[in-house]
Amino acid sequence: MGTTASMPACRAAPFEKGISHRHQVMRLYRHTLRTSRDWHWDYFVWIEDCQHWQKKFKENVHLSVAEGRILVQKGLDELLAKRHPEPIIPIYRPGGVKYQRNTPPPPEVTEHLMPPPHQRIH
């Protein structure tokens, strides 16, 4: 696993340059919960793990921003080390099992099957 595991691009790099420390922490927390969901199929086990992560994040609320940045970097390293090789992809997102299923064909393909314009029902 580690950094060689596959991961959607939107989850591979959760931090952009120039965002505030608060937003970095919020994104790290969200990505931690999503990664936790990838590993736990049972809902109640996942909820227990979410509570564990929530407790870990709340323990460090009182730290300064400088200490927090160090913890965010450690958290990101841990997140990348523990990511799932095949994360859950919502079914309607790109890569999901129902993404673009039963999409209508383009008009140029079906145009010859339609009645002439003056006979169409409006």
**Mean pLDDT per 10-residue interval, the chain, length 122 residues:** 50 68 90 92 94 94 91 90 87 80 81 81 76
Neighbour-count burial of 35, counting CB atoms closer than 10 A to its CB (0-12 exposed, 13-18 middle, 19+ buried): buried
Please give the C-alpha separations between residue 107 and each of 53, 101, 116, in angstroms, as whole numbers. Answer: 50, 17, 14
pLDDT at site 87: 86
pLDDT at site 4: 47
Residues in the chain: 122
pLDDT at site 10: 57
End-to-end CA distance of the chain: 57
Locate the domains of the chain by residue range: 9-119
Indicate the pTM of the whole model: 0.67
pLDDT at site 2: 46
pLDDT at site 9: 56
